[in-house]
Structure formats: C-alpha cells, structure tokens
Structure 1
Amino acid sequence: MTDWTSLSFVVVDVEGNGQQPPDLVELAAVPVVGGVIGEPLRWLVKPDAPIKHFATRIHGLTNKDVADCPSFEAITGNVLPALDADALVAHNAHVDLGVLSRKLTGWESPEVFDTLKLARRLVPGLDSYRLGNLVEVYSLAEGLPHDLSPHRATYDALVAARLFVLLATKAASLEDLRGQPPKEVDEDALF
C-alpha cells in the first residue's frame, strides 16, 4: 500500500460567472507534495459571458476586474502543468471538476478526492460541512495573508489544502490505530 505523503496532489478551486453551466472567472491550484502545501498559482480570466450580479456578491469579482484579463484558452498552457499530479483535490469537487472538464477539452482528470466527502466520513456530527464552517472549526485560515478572502479561488484552495492535509493525516492515523496499513485509495472519498 502507498502512504498518502508519497503521492502528489493539486488542490483546486474555481470561481464562476454565475451562468449555467458556470464559466471560469478565477482558478487557483495549490500543490501538496510529500504532505507539504506548496505555493498557490492563480489565474484571473475573462469569461465568455459577463459575470452576473449574484456571482459578484459571492466572490467580489466584477466584469471590470476581468475586462483586461486573458481568455482561458490563452492560459491553458500554464494551467495544464499545474494540474499534473497523482490526484486532484477540491471541496465539493464535482463543481470544480465540471468547470475544468468543460474548459480543458480532452483533459483527463486524475483521481479526485473531495474534502466535503472526506470530512463527512472522518469527522461525523458537525452541523455543517461547508468549507467556511470547516475553516472556522479547524482554524484553517490562521496565518494566511490578510489580502486573501473567502470565496476567492486562492483563499478557498489554500484552506481546502489545509483541510485535506488534516483529513489525510487523520485517516492515516486511524488506519495505524487499527493496525492496518494506510489504504492507497478510499473509494468512498473519491469523486
């Protein structure tokens, strides 16, 4: 069996324009290698359709903020290497994976770990498994730069990376306590 720290992960978060299906406005990717959280990469992009007002109320990005940003197609060459990992991690992963799959035609996602599903399984009994609630319960935002804010891709990806490391460590400890080797892949935690 493989210890989770021997694998490379990339934690992603996307912010959308409020359209259905959502189009990308901001993307962040945070590597986790050897169990250590790396430096985030972040891209602002001009979506194909304008940002709706309700989306701006959530993440704070306006059409003016992205007016001079490149299209997603222009940054694809930088995004693909950032997503090259053994596994992709996201909170409520189907949303992020859906946007990335639509934007990266032909891209095949590696295995996906959903921190929402992991948290529900490993820390039962919480009132809410929203990322903001988990950030509060586990103090995941401590020490982050003050210019980062919730519902922006870099902040959300960094706190999700911290959550993932916490949960993966907890899962490995539980396996050690049972006297079993850590599982390589927990099928229930996959997307």
Structure 2
Amino acid sequence: MIFSSWPALLVVDIEGKGTNPPDLVEVAALPVRDGRPDKDTAGAWLTKPNRPVTPFAARVHGLTNQVLDGKPSWREIEGVVHGLLGTAWVAAHHAHVDYRVLRAHLPQWQPAGVIDTLRLAKAAYPGLPTYRLDALIEHASLDLSDAPGQRHRAAFDAYAAAQRLITMADQYESWDQLVAIAVPPGLPGATKPEQKPTLW
C-alpha cells in the first residue's frame, strides 16, 4: 500500500456516559499521515454530559462524574471538534456507532467517507472467536508503547485502531481496494453497487 496516496484521514473514538441515546464524555481524533499516527496534530476532549455518567460506564473508562465536573459542555467544544474533523475521511472500530453518535452531536458534519476497522479485521483475520479491540491488539501483536493514556480512553483506543488500520492496509494494493472492503454499506464513501442494464 502506498500510504502517500491516501486522502486526509482521522481515526476517531468516543466514550459515552452509558445511556441511550448516547451522551458524549470524551472524543479523540488522530490523523494518519504517510502511514503513521500523527499525535502532534491529534485532538482529545473531555466534556461534561447533561446527565450523570452511569456507574457501569465509569468503571469501563474511568471517567466519573467527579473527573468530568468542571469540564466544558459539548456546546463549548463542538466547534473545535468539527473544525479538526472537517470533511476528511474518518476511521473507527465499529465505525457505524461512532459515526452515528458524532453525527447526532454534529448535525452539519459530513465526512468524505467512513472506514470500519472491524470490517477490515474480519476480512484480514477470518475465523477469530472475537473481534473486540483487546483481542485484535493481542492477535496482531501491536506495539502500543507510544499510545497516549490508557485502554478504554478515547485517545488510546484511537491510536490502537490507527495501528490496526495501518497494519491491515498492507494487504491491499490501493486505497480503492481498501475502501471496497472497509466502508459499511449506507455510510459515506461506500461503493455504490453497479446498476444492472435495462432496456431503457
């Protein structure tokens, strides 16, 4: 894969307060440039949700109501987040979830396309018993020594997803081949099926 041929792309990850519909407590966006995560231009934001974080969610990511007390509201940071995302491609693990939640919080945001590293992993490593992030990190023996923060925090998980994306992308000769496998149907960037010829 010639990484210099890639369009602008950011790997994103979100953490929520544990309810449905989701309310964000953390967002991270990590650009990938020339086949490497670019931590220097990455963004990560904590935001205080409108309602309390559930105990279960707090146990997973460690973002308790006390940690988030005093953090900016979503209204205060949404412009900055939207500014970094722009119209670039985005990638995420289980990407339709991140895309749906981010679109709900940023109605004007429209990425060029959405890469799902979960779809790529299923194509790259068929037959695994699970495709959860932890299992894929172990299976691919990813070096995450430079990952920021800790597991289940947005910046760490975005970095891990970026490393997986870069590793799996080497199986494809071109960006178009990767897109054909990695973009979920119905999301931006999905390859449109060829229409069958008709008499008219």
Report Cα offsets for 1:21-69 as digits up to 9, x if no partner. Answer: 1110001110002222101311000011110111111111101111100
> Aligned partners of 2:27 and 2:143: how far apart in 1?
19
1:104 aligns with 2:103: no
In terms of mean alpha carbon deviation, does 101-110 or 41-50 score higher? Answer: 101-110
SS at match of 2:21: coil
CA distance in 1, matches of 2:158, 2:165: 10
Instruction: Supply the distance in 2 between the matched residues of 1:5 and 1:118 (Cα, whole angstroms).
Output: 20
Q: Which letter maps to 1:98?
A: R
Tell me which amino acid in the other structure corresponds to 1:156.
D
2:155 maps to what in 1?
154
Range moving further from structure 2, 22-31 or 68-77: 68-77
TM-score w.r.t. the length of structure 2 is: 0.83
TM-score (norm 1): 0.87
The answer to whether the 8 Å contact 2:52/2:65 transfers is yes
Match of 2:35 in 1: 35
CA-atom RMSD in angstroms:
1.8
* Residue 140 of structure 1, CA deviation: 2.2
Instruction: Determine the structure 1 residue equivalent to 2:70.
Output: 68
Identity, % of aligned positions: 40
Aligned to 2:10: 10
Q: Superposition pairs for residues 166-177 of structure 1, below 5 Å?
A: 166-172=167-173
**Greater relative contact order (CA < 8 Å, ≥ 6 in sequence):** 1
1:80-99 matches, within 5 Å, as: 80-84=82-86, 86-99=88-101
SS at match of 1:73: helix
Q: Is the 8 A contact 1:4 1:184 kept in 2?
A: no
Cα pair 1:10 1:30 within 8 Å, conserved? yes
Please state whether the residue corresponding to 1:184 is helix, strand or coil: helix
2-structure distance, mates of 1:86, 1:3: 18
**Shift in alpha-carbon separation, 1:86–1:107, aligned structure 2, 3 A:** closer
Q: Is contact 1:16–1:25 with CA below 8 Å preserved after alignment?
A: yes
Q: 1:123 aligns with which of 119, 122, 125?
A: 125
User: In structure 1, what is the equivalent of residue 49 of structure 2?
Assistant: 47
Measured against aligned partners, the alpha-carbon deviations of 1:102-152 in whole angstroms (never above 9, x if no partner) come to 11122113200000001101221222111111111123243225x721111
**How is 1:176-187 mapped onto 2 (pairs within 5 angstroms)?**
182-184=174-176, 186-187=179-180
Q: Distance in 2 between matches of 1:97 and 1:48?
A: 20
Distance apart, 1:73 and its partner CA? 1.3
Question: In structure 2, what is the equivalent of residue 188 of structure 1?
Answer: 181
Show structure 2 runs of 5+ residues with no match: 185-200
Q: Equivalents in 2 of 1:167, 1:85: separation in Å?
A: 24
User: SS at 2:171's partner residue?
Assistant: helix
- Structure 1: gaps of 5 or more residues: 173-181
Alignment length (residue pairs): 180
Letter paired with 2:10: V
- Alignment-mate amino acid for residue 158 of structure 2: A
| Distance in 2 between residues matched to 1:3 and 1:141, nearest whole Å | 21
Residues 95 and 32 of structure 1, relative CA distance in 2, 3 Å threshold: same
Cα distance in structure 2, aligned partners of 1:188 and 1:126: 18
Matching residue of 2:116: 114
